[in-house]
Amino acid sequence: MEITNTARIEAPLDQVWDVLRDIPRTARCLPGTTISEKIDEETYKASVTMKVGPVTLTYRATVRRTSLDESTHAAVLDVEAADTKGRGNAAATVRTSAVADGAATVLTVTADARISGVLAQFGGGMIQSVAGRQLAQFAANVRAEVERGRSAT
């Protein structure tokens, strides 16, 4: 299942890209995601908790960046995840790209997701809805992360 969402972030491209190119900072922006271990510069272990309908799932995930294009402000992450209670697996190839739009940045996120188990039972409509809310929260969190970066300097 492919899910694509776009969000406008009221921050300059270079500041948004600084967040998106840094896997731990990006993870802080993803609702329910916590980095638990750094394997190497491109690979991290994480915990991801999400609520879909009446079910809350917690996944142990491996996040690996497979591509980073500084000139086009695009990155690709491969994610492999397993539910901690054995209720299913998820995998995704996530492509992010950022482009300047005046003083703001337009962020596009495309995920080619493969899911099994309890999450797959909810169907595409509900998953699309949850993904839309997650992206809106992600965009707000990227903006907050940019602000944190500004105040740290």
Q: How many domains does the chain have?
A: 1
**For residue 24, is it within any domain?**
yes
What CATH number does the domain containing 46 carry?
3.30.530.20
Residue 28's Cβ-count burial label (10 Å; 0-12, 13-18, 19+) is: middle
**For residue 115, is it within any domain?**
yes
pLDDT score recorded for residue 77: 92
Identify the domain containing residue 19 by its residue range: 2-148
**For residue 72, is it within any domain?**
yes
**For residue 119, is it within any domain?**
yes
**For residue 153, is it within any domain?**
no
CB 29 within 8 A of CB 138: yes
pLDDT tops 90 at residue 81: yes
CA distance 143 to 11: 7
pLDDT tops 70 at residue 39: yes
Whole-prediction pTM:
0.85
**For residue 118, is it within any domain?**
yes
**For residue 91, is it within any domain?**
yes
**For residue 58, is it within any domain?**
yes
pLDDT tops 80 at residue 130: no
